[in-house]
């Protein structure tokens, strides 16, 4: 028995990363890494929430 879980996905879902990589002329791992970096960049580019500003302005003493 395998230690890895098995999940069922459609062929379309399974093939999506491969197609994206082919469109970009990259390896699948490189495409996934760049997409994650793009998402991280968008997250960092957004304005801080009031809660985040309050946390950053909190006294550390």
pLDDT tens digits for range 4-47: 899 999 999 999 999 999 999 999 999 999 999 999 999 999 99
Q: What is the 3-state secondary structure (H, E, C) of 6-37?
A: CCCCCHHHHHHHHHHHHHHCCCHHHHHHHHHH
What confidence score (pLDDT) does residue 61 get? 56
Separation in Å, CA 53 to CA 39, 46, 56, 58, 59: 21, 13, 5, 9, 12
- Distance, in Å, from the CA atom of 28 to the CA atom of 38, rounded to the nearest integer, reads 15
Statement: the pTM of the whole predicted model exceeds 0.85: no
The answer to whether the CB of 48 falls within 8 A of the CB of 56 is yes
The answer to whether the CB of 21 falls within 8 A of the CB of 27 is yes
């Amino acid at each position: 028995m395998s230690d890895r879980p098995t999940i069922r996905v459609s062929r379309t879902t399974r093939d999506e990363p491969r197609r994206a990589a082919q469109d970009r002329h990259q390896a699948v791992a490189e495409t996934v890494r760049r997409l994650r970096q793009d998402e991280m960049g968008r997250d960092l580019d957004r304005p801080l929430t009031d809660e985040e500003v309050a946390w950053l302005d909190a006294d550390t003493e």
